[in-house]
């Protein structure tokens, strides 16, 4: 039981779980402030606000973090060609420290000593979330109900949650729950658990939400020119219709559109979670996949070979740290600095074709190219 006036900032999603947690935290005596980051997920934010207030939240903060997510989290990953275990572009892992930073900010502004989240005790996200919060505010205390016996023993299954919801006036979803869990943001969406848990089972065709099925995607490729400076994209042009975007957020969203339309960015993998177990995940990362290929190309074109080898080792480590939630660690900051240094002359334009789930590099040019056509001849 909390002290009478203890305040907790809850990472609220609007869904059943965190709604129940909100009510449960109030039951425990906490004053609850709901925080919901708009990080690009499909969500009715107004409805979520109303719902949280109706459930007794003292205040509700809904903050759009899309731009900072792209500029401060996705861009460093693009510079690093960050890839966990050779395949995963780290879509969820990059979002956690972005959200946590705002959450800690709200807690500090509101004088709250507690932060709560709805992540489970077997996943990566609890780790990422909590390492970020503690790094940014060592005095904060994190409440993780799904790791507390008094909570998880009370709610052993979805049925108990539903009952609790009905009893406390928590709106219950009318559509049946998908037989897997999802996590979405501007960069990616993940599907795991449920019927996907058996790694042998093929993912259902109707699972995907961010990309079209390549078997029915357009029969004509789109071609893009992506311009980089210091290793980050600064301009995207569709060479067929001349559409151009220059701001980080807009060009990233446009790449999401184009990649999604052509079914680019789907993977089905088994990965090693931080907590030690292997886990099967299906991911869509449309814009991230295009940028991975385009950045790799411009980097190889403009970077000294030996610098690149060293940078490759640093990026491997960076990817591991990001996956494991160490974004705000001294070592991750050190690596981010070193990697950024390596990108100073990574500039130029890559032309790519996007088609049927695939990104093809067609050519590249750069003011800083180390390529010497005379020499090759």
Burial class (CB in 10 A: 0-12, 13-18, 19+), 352: buried
User: CA-based angle 251:74:109, to the nearest 5?
Assistant: 110
Sign of dihedral through CA atoms 275, 39, 183, 278?
negative
Residue of 4, 157, 176, 330 interacting with a copy of itself (CB under 8 A): 330
- Active site includes 183? no
**Catalytic site residue 17?**
yes
Beta bridge partners of 59: 33
End-to-end C-alpha distance for the chain, whole angstroms:
77
CA distance 308 to 318: 15
What residues from 356 to 375 belong to the interface with a copy of itself (CB under 8 A)?
Answer: 356-358, 360-365, 369-373, 375
- Asked if 205 is part of the footprint of a copy of itself (rule: CB under 8 A), the reply reads no
| Residues between 282 and 311 with contacts to a copy of itself, criterion CB under 8 A | 296-297, 300-301, 304-311
CB of 208 to a copy of itself, least distance (A): 12
Of 32-40, 45-53, 69-77, 338-346, the segment contacting a copy of itself by CB under 8 A is 338-346
203 interacts with a copy of itself by CB under 8 A: yes
Place of tokens 């979670």: 273
Counts for the chain of helices (H) and strands (E), in that order? 13, 14
List 65, 103, 107, 316, residue binding a copy of itself (CB under 8 A): 316
Backbone angles phi, psi at 36, to 5 degrees: -130, 120
Assess contact for 186 and 39: CB atoms under 8 A.
yes
- The reply to whether 317 sits near a copy of itself by the rule CB under 8 A is yes
**Residue 338 within binding range of a copy of itself, rule CB under 8 A:** yes
Residues 129-188 that bind a copy of itself (CB under 8 A): none
Q: Which of residues 232-271 bind a copy of itself (CB under 8 A)?
A: 266-271
Look up 219 and say whether it is catalytic: no
Which lies closer to a copy of itself via its Cβ, residue 9 or residue 297?
297
Beta bridge partners of 359: 354
Active-site annotation, residues: 17, 96, 125, 181
């Amino acid at each position: 039981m909390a002290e009478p006036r203890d305040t907790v900032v809850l990472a609220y999603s609007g869904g059943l779980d965190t709604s129940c947690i909100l009510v449960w935290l109030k039951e425990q005596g906490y004053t609850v402030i709901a925080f919901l980051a708009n990080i690009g997920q499909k969500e009715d934010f107004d409805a979520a606000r109303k719902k949280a207030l109706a459930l007794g939240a003292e205040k509700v903060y809904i903050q759009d973090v899309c731009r900072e997510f792209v500029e401060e989290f996705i861009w460093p990953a693009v510079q690093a060609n960050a890839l966990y275990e050779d395949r995963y572009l780290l879509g969820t892992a990059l979002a956690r420290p972005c959200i946590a930073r705002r959450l800690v900010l709200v807690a500090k502004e509101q004088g709250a000593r507690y932060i709560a989240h709805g992540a489970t005790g077997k996943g990566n996200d609890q780790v990422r979330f909590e390492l970020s919060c503690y790094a940014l505010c060592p005095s904060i205390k994190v409440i993780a109900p799904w790791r507390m016996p008094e909570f998880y023993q009370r709610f052993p299954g979805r049925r108990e949650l539903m009952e609790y919801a009905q009893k406390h006036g928590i709106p219950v979803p009318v559509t049946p729950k998908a037989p897997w869990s999802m996590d979405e943001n501007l960069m990616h969406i993940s599907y795991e658990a449920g019927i996907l848990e058996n790694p042998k089972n093929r993912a259902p065709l109707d699972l995907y939400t961010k990309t079209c099925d390549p078997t029915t995607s357009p029969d004509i490729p789109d071609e893009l020119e992506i311009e980089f400076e210091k290793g980050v994209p600064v301009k995207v042009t569709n060479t067929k219709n001349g559409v151009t975007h220059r701001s980080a957020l807009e060009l990233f969203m446009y790449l999401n559109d184009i990649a999604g339309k052509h079914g680019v960015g789907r993977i089905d993998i088994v990965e090693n979670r931080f907590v030690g177990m292997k886990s099967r995940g299906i991911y869509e990362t449309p814009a991230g996949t295009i940028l991975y290929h385009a950045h790799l190309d411009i980097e190889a074109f403009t970077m000294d070979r030996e610098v690149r080898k060293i940078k490759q080792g640093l990026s491997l480590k960076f990817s591991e740290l990001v996956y494991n939630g160490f974004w705000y660690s001294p070592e991750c900051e050190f690596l981010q600095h070193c990697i950024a240094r390596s990108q100073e002359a990574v500039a130029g334009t890559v032309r790519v074709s996007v088609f049927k789930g695939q990104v093809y590099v067609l050519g590249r040019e750069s003011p800083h190219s180390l390529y010497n056509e005379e020499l090759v001849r």
